[in-house]
Structure 1
Amino acid sequence: MITGSMLLVIFVVAIAALLLSIIKFKANPFLALMGVSILTGLMVRMPLPDIASNISKGFGNTMGGVGIVIGLGIILGQVLAESRAINAIANGMLKTVGSARANLAINISGWLISIPVFQDAAFVIFMPLVRQIQKSTKKPLVALVTALGVGTIASHSMIIPTPGPVAVAGNMGVNIGSFLFYSLIVSLPATLIGGVLYSKFLEKRADKNAYLPKADHEVAVDNRPMPTMKLSLSVLLFPLLLILVGSIAAMILPKENAIRPIFAFFGDKNIALFIGVIVAFLALGKYFDKSTETVIKEATISAGLIFLITGAGGSFGTVINTSGIGQYLVDTLTNMNVSIIVLGFILSQLLRAAQGSTTVALVTTSSILGPLVAGTAASPVLVALAICAGGIGVSLPNDSGFWVLSNYSGLSVQDTIKAWTVGGTIVGASAFMIIMALSAMPFLPGL
């Protein structure tokens, strides 16, 4: 196989081919990742049987580590949406902080709900409420949409059980509890910077009469009963608390302690999410407008493509690393004194900007860097978080989320760039700065 500096050239060609196939030829990301995996293997002169086996091994290893969590996370999100628990959290948050702090209420609500619910879906569900808030508070729509948009993308990119963060945690081989704990610490302050401070900045400079609700933006009010905010939040946070408690117990209890295996069992990500889904059905099922079977079917339909993209990203990463490209890339950057934490953020950010999909950027970057972190002094948790932070910002019109936000909010392209592109970039950069600050504190537990 090829060695030396040509590996770097092949890596650049492979990434360019991936981006070209998705952006120019509108190829499905799954097919693009599979095709580029084969192309990369051929370019490095990997034996044909090895190309096939590495693609299969990469797909299987990735899905074996994250497949159950992704599936259960999607079902949990569907339950919260169908039961209108999302609306209950948003309404309760608004009542708690008051209409004068509507930016804060919307931002935190979006951040919470996009932990289990896909960002696009969370935004669409929230927009009717945002328009109602605009009518009552007279706040500029661009400021409220910024608060919602950056809140949803921050947790979607950094917190399990959404597919991107789950894949990153699996590929990096990190303790899921430690990863969850620090992702909450990093993402919430970053979200507040972009969703509250920056939205206030826009609010002071925006035309308050712009984007008043129009007839085609009015949405029928859903008068179905909804759960309380307390119940909704409890269901949302329950599986996350199980994971955190299990990880904390593993750190403080001695290995010979009799109850340590019990905490380890219930704190396992797969078990915790499974229990969380069962609790969600029992607690929120009476608020459904559909049968339980229909809710599950709708969730699994949306999960199929995510499984394929995630697995194919693992295939691509395995080919990259078995070819020697990954190690050569890290060695080159190490000689240039570039931290692998910085590399993770930059590579993820470039992929996100170039092809639009946060999930593809996170899966691809973590698949490449995951096997290489062990050979460095960097914390795998912080590298994982840096990759996630890189997937937040620089969302351009090649990102479907850009148009979801523009079309459902009614903002112009110019204001969508202000709210979504600039706002998200502020959140991603803020998260990265927090991560770099944490990297200077290696005494922290779990790092």
Structure 2
Amino acid sequence: MIILYATVTILAVVLLIIVLDVDPMISLVLGSLGLGLAAGLGFAGTLEEIVGGFGSIMAEVGLLIGFGVLIGALLFSMQALQRLVAGLLRLLGATRLPYAMAAVMTSLFPSIYVDVQLVLASPLARSAAPRLGPHGLGRMSGAVTAGILVGYVFVVPGLGTVSIAGLLGVPLGTMLVYGLLVGPLTAVLTVLVHGLILRAGLWNPERDEDPSESLLEAEALAEREAADGAAVAGPGSGPGVPPLPVALLPVLVPLAMIAFGAVMDALGASTPFVAFVGDPAFALFVGLLGAFVLSRVTMGRRRTGEAIEKGFDTTGQILLITGVGGSLGAVIAATDLADVLGGLFSADQGAPVAVTILLAWLVAAVLHLAIGSISVAAIAAAGIIGPVLGQLDTAPVVVGLAIGAGALFALHVNSNFFWMFQSLLGVSTSGALKSLTLVTSLASVIALPIIFAVSLVA
């Protein structure tokens, strides 16, 4: 009977989100309430699990999300991403740029707030596209998709990655190490395959490119302002930005700290001080402190305050949706659904790891297809699978990677990101399907054999 209750609950949540346009956070809370009451937890018991689950996941990832959002806001304000890609264009040339852009955005800039990353990356993609030929915008749009969204589900501190790790109890250091193996490789291979498909004739500029007049006017205005600024600016004339290698330190230093702690722990050489230095919350705080100091020194108090304010504006919604994902997981854990799902994920036909990976991928993929949100699909899938994780023969980090791959599958028209992508990249609906929906589908599938290989050593 619990299977029926859970099915009805998930369908109800999906319908609330995609048909009635109810906010995912409200939908997930309603689903948690309904499932808890239907499963016999009672009013008090259901509320206790919802509150307890929210608190548990916040203890795991709350500070990490807050610190990560603020670091991203400050880095974007210091133009770190823009200057990095411009440098890569000069260094590598236009042909290699899509690969470099996808790899760098996946490994160095895995964003918690993907909309901000998209806003800043899209002008760079559009400006570089003409140098890649008639399908240049399709290739650069695909590289942006792979760079942003693959990192979002595989690499710390991407929201999808952090949420999956928290719900499955995977140490973030472990998730970082394996995510850096899977994420950049998946992104680069996806760009390669997507480019081959586009060159075969899939991309039609007349049909797939459709920049609005306002977008073209904004680009022209930005070019004029940049030219005017270059003509009148002199040494010390107003706030600046730090040198690029320095601007990247708030990302590179925390990643190095977390990786150091994970490696030392794996070698059995960890000490209390090493554990402190490698703690993800402390590492990200060091990054935030560094970004804040850099911004204040180079850009001044006002621009730093504006960047921090934008970061705070985005934190609340992210924390709420992540927390209620933990609530759903807690309600599921309190029912006997775990035993039923444990049977589905148990070893089967001599290939338990392969079956587990495919089932975890499938659960997340179906949820994403229905709901239209990568993060909600990842959180919901982790909430469903997390309670039975102890019954599986597969390493939790492998299950987490499989969930991330599944949650990436086929982002399409029921996602607000789809329409934002279409507008900012200046592509038509068909162009967005070819450079966003197709690319997320490719990345989701390409990641699977890589995850299978990781499972052999995890």
TM-score, scaled to structure 2: 0.89
Relative to structure 1, the CA distance from residue 214 to residue 70 in structure 2 (aligned partners, 3 Å threshold; closer, same or farther) is closer
8 A Cα contact 2:249 2:287, kept in partner: no
Asked if 1:320 corresponds to 2:332, the answer is: yes
Relative to structure 1, the CA distance from residue 263 to residue 351 in structure 2 (aligned partners, 3 Å threshold; closer, same or farther) is same
Relative to structure 1, the CA distance from residue 353 to residue 56 in structure 2 (aligned partners, 3 Å threshold; closer, same or farther) is same
8 A Cα contact 1:330 1:340, kept in partner: no
Asked if 1:48 corresponds to 2:43, the answer is: yes
Asked if 1:14 corresponds to 2:30, the answer is: no
Q: CA deviation at 1:318?
A: 0.9
Partner in structure 1 of residue 454 of structure 2: 438
Structure 2 distance, partners of 1:42, 1:207, is 53
Q: CA deviation at 1:116?
A: 3.4
Give the AA of the match of 2:252: L
Structure 2 counterpart of 1:216, from 214, 217, 242: 214
Q: CA deviation at 1:274?
A: 0.3
- Give the number of equivalent residue pairs: 433
Relative to structure 1, the CA distance from residue 33 to residue 168 in structure 2 (aligned partners, 3 Å threshold; closer, same or farther) is same
Q: CA deviation at 1:199?
A: 2.4
Structure 2 distance, partners of 1:200, 1:110, is 21
Structure 2 distance, partners of 1:74, 1:139, is 36
Structure 2 counterpart of 1:240, from 227, 244, 255: 255
Structure 1 distance, partners of 2:74, 2:252, is 14
Look up the SS of the partner of 2:408 in the other structure. coil
Partner in structure 2 of residue 280 of structure 1: 291
Structure 1 counterpart of 2:421, from 393, 398, 405: 405
Partner in structure 1 of residue 148 of structure 2: 152
Q: CA deviation at 1:207?
A: 4.1
1:236-275 aligned at under 5 Å gives the runs 236-254=251-269, 260-275=271-286
8 A Cα contact 1:103 1:147, kept in partner: yes
8 A Cα contact 2:210 2:426, kept in partner: no
8 A Cα contact 1:54 1:315, kept in partner: yes
Structure 1 distance, partners of 2:347, 2:382, is 21
Give the AA of the match of 1:180: L
Asked if 1:329 corresponds to 2:341, the answer is: yes
Structure 1 distance, partners of 2:213, 2:419, is 20
Q: CA deviation at 1:209?
A: 6.8
8 A Cα contact 1:92 1:229, kept in partner: no
Give the AA of the match of 2:215: H
Structure 2 distance, partners of 1:394, 1:172, is 24
8 A Cα contact 1:151 1:195, kept in partner: no
Q: CA deviation at 1:114?
A: 4.1
Structure 2 counterpart of 1:82, from 64, 77, 80: 77
Partner in structure 1 of residue 235 of structure 2: none
Q: Deviations over 1:108-140 (max 9, x none)?
A: 343246413522221221122222212344452
Give the AA of the match of 1:314: G
Relative to structure 1, the CA distance from residue 387 to residue 239 in structure 2 (aligned partners, 3 Å threshold; closer, same or farther) is same
Relative to structure 1, the CA distance from residue 254 to residue 410 in structure 2 (aligned partners, 3 Å threshold; closer, same or farther) is closer
Partner in structure 2 of residue 3 of structure 1: none
Alignment identity in percent?
27
Partner in structure 1 of residue 128 of structure 2: 133
Q: CA deviation at 1:378?
A: 0.9
Structure 1 distance, partners of 2:441, 2:298, is 37
Structure 1 distance, partners of 2:186, 2:269, is 35
Structure 2 distance, partners of 1:413, 1:165, is 29
Give the AA of the match of 2:44: P
8 A Cα contact 1:168 1:384, kept in partner: yes
Q: Which runs of 5+ in 2 are unaligned?
A: 230-239
Structure 1 distance, partners of 2:171, 2:46, is 30
Relative to structure 1, the CA distance from residue 216 to residue 36 in structure 2 (aligned partners, 3 Å threshold; closer, same or farther) is same
Structure 1 distance, partners of 2:407, 2:298, is 35
Q: Which runs of 5+ in 1 are unaligned?
A: 1-5
Q: CA deviation at 1:107?
A: 2.2
Q: Deviations over 1:164-196 (max 9, x none)?
A: 211111111112111111011011111111123
Structure 2 distance, partners of 1:252, 1:155, is 27
Structure 2 distance, partners of 1:34, 1:204, is 46
Structure 2 distance, partners of 1:228, 1:93, is 15
8 A Cα contact 1:113 1:152, kept in partner: no
Structure 2 counterpart of 1:166, from 147, 158, 162: 162
Relative to structure 1, the CA distance from residue 285 to residue 137 in structure 2 (aligned partners, 3 Å threshold; closer, same or farther) is farther
Give the AA of the match of 1:405: F
Partner in structure 2 of residue 62 of structure 1: 57
Q: Deviations over 1:269-317 (max 9, x none)?
A: 1000000111122234444474333322211110101111111111111
Q: CA deviation at 1:242?
A: 0.6
- Aligned-pair RMSD on alpha carbons? 2.1
Structure 2 distance, partners of 1:292, 1:198, is 39
Partner in structure 1 of residue 310 of structure 2: 298
Q: CA deviation at 1:253?
A: 4.1
8 A Cα contact 1:103 1:199, kept in partner: no
Give the AA of the match of 1:274: F
Structure 2 distance, partners of 1:369, 1:213, is 42
Q: Which runs of 4+ in 1 moved over 6 A?
A: none
Look up the SS of the partner of 1:105 in the other structure. helix
Asked if 1:179 corresponds to 2:175, the answer is: yes
Q: Deviations over 1:365-406 (max 9, x none)?
A: 112222321222110010011111111121120011111111
Q: CA deviation at 1:336?
A: 5.8
The answer to which of 120-129 and 200-209 deviates more is: 200-209
Partner in structure 1 of residue 232 of structure 2: none
Look up the SS of the partner of 2:248 in the other structure. helix
8 A Cα contact 1:168 1:362, kept in partner: yes
TM-score, scaled to structure 1: 0.91
